[in-house]
Amino acid sequence: MSVIGTDISVSIGRKPILHGVDFAAEPGEVHAIVGPNGSGKTTLLRALTGDIFANGRITLSDRSFDRKRPWEMASIRGVLPQVTVLSFPFTVIEVVRMGLEAGPHGASPEIAHQALRDVGLEGYEGRFFQELSGGEQQRAQLARVLSQVWEPVQDGAPCWLFLDEPVASLDIGHQLGVMELARRYADRGGGVIAVMHDLNLTAMFADQVTLLSKGEVAATGEVANVLTDDLLSAAYACTLRVNMAPSAGKTFLLPQTAARS
């Protein structure tokens, strides 16, 4: 019932991006993919979702991954891209309803409104999507994806969220809100795979982390075993120290110490 990628290699043009990546994510967990710019995080996610051609074997819940029956995939898997460019003036609720009607809950229109409440966009239903700010657009898209696979477990099988940098354009309050949504989805039995830039949020919310470096897996496993001084310093090419506060008197702010009302 897991997402498994074995020996994934991807080349874009002649440039190899991923070399022999093994990846496995389990339902009930938030699995973060981290790594420096250009390490292949988004490419790995796009290979796992079937957006790009990848050598190797990728399965979702024991089903081989192909594009032949996209409507079946849509009922068990929602994918949030980094950026969505909408080409016609749909309103926010119309965009969210598109996701709802693509999944198995199309007959329950109230889910679209609940999803908008969950991402903090209540009252935005009638606004034009294109008039929203970048962060609001990203949250509206998340509401669309959530409506599509609203129940984390559907007919006894887990559903999946694939999120590409879900919090990249959000303020810290909404970052926490979105990550809590992902956390709850996993706690209720669904699977979440997220490409993450923010290592603090990764440490807070992820169960498993895969650290990519130069198109290969540098480490994978539980947070404490992957987010270590040595592994991070090597991958990000700078000296990093985990769990060390800055020298006294310097201001710093961590999402871990935020209190959410």
Partner 1 sequence: MVAETTFAPPTDRGAQAWRLHVVLWVLVLLVSLFSLSIGAAGAQVRAGLMAWIANDKLDAATRLILFDIRVPRLVLGLLVGAALAVSGGMMQGLFRNPLADPGLVGVGAGAGLGAITAIIIGATLPPFLINALGNYMIPLAAFFGGWGSTLILYRVSTRNGRTSVATMLLAGIALAALAGAVSGILVYMADDRQLRDLTFWGLGSLAGATWIKVLTAGPLIAVAILSAPFMARGLNGLSLGEATAVHMGVPLERLKTGAILTVACATGAAVAVSGGIGFVGIVVPHLLRLATGPDHRTLLPNAALLGAILLVLADCISRTIIAPAELPIGIVTAVLGAPVFLWILLRRRGVVDL
Contact residues for partner 1, defined by CB under 8 A: 46, 49-51, 67, 70-75, 77-79, 81, 84-91, 93-95, 98-99, 101-102, 125-128, 130-131, 148
Residue 19 or 127 having the CB closest to partner 1:
127
Minimum CB separation of residue 144 from partner 1 in Å reads 8
Residue 51 or 207 having the CB closest to partner 1:
51
Residue 185 or 203 having the CB closest to partner 1:
185
Minimum CB separation of residue 69 from partner 1 in Å reads 8
Residue 131 or 222 having the CB closest to partner 1:
131
Yes or no: say if 208 and 220 are a contact pair by the CB < 8 Å rule: yes
Residue 78 or 255 having the CB closest to partner 1:
78
Minimum CB separation of residue 84 from partner 1 in Å reads 6
Minimum CB separation of residue 222 from partner 1 in Å reads 29
Minimum CB separation of residue 149 from partner 1 in Å reads 10
